C-alpha cells in the first residue's frame, strides 16, 4: 500500500529516479559490448567503500532517516562478460530511538562492458539479511526473546555502476541501485507476538556506494587468438547424489526442528578460471524429489505444539551457484560449493500459516575421490537454509546440517584421452 505524505512522495520520486538511472546504465552496458576494446578484462575484482541506504528499517512516514555503512566483495573471472559476484554490506544508525544494526550477504551476477577507459556494469544479487532484535522499538520488554521485529529476511539488489581507472591495478567505483528486504515488526507477547505489516513500513531502499576496486592481477593487453577447433572441451561434470539432514542451527531461521532427505542432480562447469589456488566453476543443482518431516502442529513461528511428525514430498532447484575445486586432476580433490535457489512442497512448510515454497541457500564442503578417468566418488557436509523471506506474514524456516554423497561423471573427453 502506498503511504501518503510529502516525505513519502519524495521517497517515491527518488525510487523512480533510481529505476530510470539503472535502465539507462543497463542500455549503456549493452551498447558498450560492441565498442569494447581489445583488452582482456582483469580476472578478479576486489572492492570496498562507503555505502548509503535511503531509509531506516523502521522508517515509517514522518520518521525516515538514512543509514551509513560499508560495502565490500569480490567479482570473479568473467565468462562472456558475466562475473559471479559475492557482496557483503553493513549499515548502522538510530531512528526514533531504536538502533539499526543490519548486514546483508548476497551473491549473483555482474554483466560488464568496457568503453574507452571506463567499465560499465549491471548486477543482480540475492541473499540473506539480518537485523538486531530491537530495531523496531528500542524497549523490548514484553516481547518474545526481546525481538520487537523479525531479525532475518531474504534480500535482493538490482543495480549498476561504473569503474574509472586510477592506475593499472586500481579504479574508483560509483554504484547505485534498489535493494529489497522483508523485515516486519512483531506484536508484544500479550497481543500474541505475531508479525504484522503497518502501512508505510519500508521494504524498498535506494543504495549508493562509492569506493575503490583493486585488481590483484591484470588481464592480457590483447585477447589471445581463437583456439584451434581441436581444443579440449570445457571441463564439466554431472553428479548424482543423495543427501540427509541430521542437525540444526539457528542462523537465519528458527525454531527449525524439521528433517529432510533428497535426491539431487548437480551440474558443474569450469567457467571462471582459478581463485585462491582452486578451479572456479559454475554450479547448479536440481532436486527432483525431497521428503520433508515437520511437526504436525505448530504456531505461526513454527514452534512445535505436538510431538508427532508429518512427512510430505517436494522439489528443489538451485540455478545460481559456484564451486571451488582444489587439486584438479589429482586423486583427492577438496571442494567448496555455494548455491541459491528455491524449494516447493505439497503443503505449507514449517508452519500452517507459512507458504508452500521457500528460498534456499546451500554451502557445502567435501572431497572427491578419483575412481576412473570418467568417474569420481564424492562425499561432504552441507549447510542448507530454507525460508520464504516474508513473502507471507509468517516466515519460519530451517537451518539444517546435512551430509551428501554420490558419483560424479565427467563429460566430454575422459581425462587422459587424446
Q: Is 374 left (phi over 0), alpha (psi -120 to 50) or beta?
A: alpha
Phi, psi dihedral angles at 31 (to 5 degrees): -70, -25
Candidates 17, 1, 11, 22; CA nearest to 55 is 11
Whose grid coordinates read 538490482? 158
Domains in the chain (CATH in brackets) are 6-214 (2.40.160.20), 236-410 (2.40.160.20)
d(CA 2, CA 23): 23
pLDDT of residue 255: 62
pLDDT at 303: 81
Q: How far apart are CA 370 and CA 334, in angstroms?
A: 12
> Cβ–Cβ contacts within 10 Å for residue 65, how many?
15
Q: Are strands 236-249 and 204-214 parallel, antiparallel or unpaired?
A: unpaired
CA distance 282 to 322: 5
* Residue 82 C-alpha from the chain's centroid: 16
Residue pLDDT, tens place only, 331-359: 999 999 999 899 999 999 988 888 898 98
Burial label for 139, CB within 10 Å (0-12, 13-18, 19+), is: exposed
Rounded Cα distance between 332 and 369, Å, is: 5
What pLDDT does residue 76 have? 87
Return the closest-CA partner of residue 73 out of 54, 43, 93, 47: 47
Q: What is the pLDDT of residues 126-151, one digit of tens each?
A: 888 889 999 999 999 999 888 999 88
Q: How far apart are CA 130 and CA 164, in angstroms?
A: 32
What 3-state DSSP class applies to 10? helix
- SS3 at position 341: strand
Residue 345: phi and psi, rounded to 5, are -135, 170
Question: According to the model, what pLDDT value does residue 334 have?
Answer: 96
Which of the residues in the chain have pLDDT under 50?
1-15, 17-38, 220-230, 416-418
For residue 223, the model assigns a pLDDT of 44
> What does the alpha-carbon distance between residue 343 and residue 354 come to, in Å, rounded to a whole number?
14
Rounded Cα distance between 131 and 186, Å, is 13
pLDDT value for 126: 87
Tens digit of each residue's pLDDT (9 = 90 or more) over 237-248? 999 999 999 877
Burial class (CB in 10 A: 0-12, 13-18, 19+), 283: buried
Separation CA 184–CA 394 (nearest Å): 10
Task: Kindly compute the dihedral angle of the four CA atoms of residues 348, 349, 354, 360, in this order, to the nearest 10 degrees.
Answer: -120
Query: What is the pLDDT, as a whole number, of residue 252?
Result: 64
Amino acid at each position: 500500500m502506498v503511504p501518503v505524505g510529502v516525505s513519502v512522495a519524495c521517497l517515491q520520486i527518488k525510487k523512480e529516479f533510481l529505476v530510470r538511472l539503472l535502465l539507462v546504465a543497463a542500455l549503456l552496458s549493452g551498447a558498450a559490448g560492441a565498442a569494447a576494446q581489445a583488452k582482456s578484462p582483469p580476472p578478479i575484482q576486489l572492492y570496498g567503500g562507503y555505502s548509503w541506504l535511503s531509509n531506516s528499517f523502521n522508517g515509517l512516514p514522518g520518521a525516515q532517516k538514512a543509514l551509513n555503512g560499508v560495502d565490500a566483495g569480490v567479482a570473479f573471472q568473467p565468462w562472456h562478460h558475466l562475473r559471479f559476484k559475492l557482496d557483503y554490506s553493513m549499515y548502522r544508525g538510530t531512528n526514533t530511538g531504536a538502533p539499526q544494526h543490519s548486514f546483508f550477504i548476497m551473491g549473483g551476477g555482474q554483466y560488464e562492458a568496457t568503453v574507452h577507459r571506463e567499465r560499465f556494469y549491471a548486477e543482480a544479487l540475492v541473499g540473506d539479511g539480518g537485523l538486531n532484535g530491537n530495531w523496531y522499538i528500542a524497549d523490548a520488554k514484553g516481547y518474545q526473546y526481546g525481538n520487537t521485529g523479525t531479525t532475518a529476511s531474504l534480500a535482493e539488489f538490482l543495480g549498476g555502476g561504473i569503474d574509472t581507472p586510477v592506475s593499472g591495478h586500481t579504479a574508483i567505483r560509483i554504484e547505485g541501485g534498489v535493494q529489497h528486504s522483508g523485515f516486519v515488526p512483531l506484536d508484544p507477547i500479550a497481543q500474541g507476538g505475531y508479525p504484522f505489516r503497518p502501512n508505510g513500513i519500508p521494504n524498498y531502499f535506494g543504495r549508493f556506494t562509492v569506493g575503490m576496486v583493486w585488481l590483484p592481477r591484470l588481464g592480457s593487453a590483447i585477447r589471445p587468438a581463437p583456439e584451434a577447433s581441436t581444443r579440449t572441451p570445457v571441463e564439466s561434470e554431472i553428479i548424482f547424489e543423495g543427501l540427509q539432514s541430521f542437525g540444526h542451527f539457528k542462523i537465519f531461521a528458527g525454531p527449525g526442528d524439521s528433517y529432510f532427505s533428497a535426491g539431487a542432480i548437480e551440474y558443474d562447469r569450469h567457467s571462471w578460471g582459478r581463485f585462491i589456488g582452486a578451479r572456479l566453476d559454475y554450479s547448479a543443482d536440481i532436486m527432483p524429489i525431497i521428503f520433508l518431516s515437520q511437526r504436525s502442529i505448530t504456531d505461526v513461528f513454527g514452534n512445535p505444539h505436538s510431538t508427532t511428525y508429518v512427512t510430505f514430498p517436494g522439489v528443489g532447484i538451485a540455478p545460481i551457484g559456484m564451486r571451488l575445486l582444489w587439486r584438479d586432476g589429482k586423486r583427492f580433490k577438496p571442494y567448496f560449493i555455494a548455491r541459491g535457489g528455491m524449494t516447493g512442497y505439497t503443503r505449507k512448510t514449517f508452519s500452517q500459516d507459512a507458504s508452500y515454497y521457500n528460498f534456499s541457500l546451500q554451502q557445502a564442503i567435501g572431497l572427491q575421490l578419483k575412481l576412473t578417468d570418467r568417474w569420481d566418488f564424492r562425499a561432504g557436509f552441507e549447510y542448507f537454509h530454507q525460508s520464504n523471506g516474508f513473502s507471507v506474514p509468517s516466515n519460519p524456516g530451517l537451518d539444517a546440517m546435512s551430509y551428501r554423497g554420490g558419483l560424479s561423471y565427467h563429460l566430454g573427453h575422459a581425462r587422459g584421452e587424446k
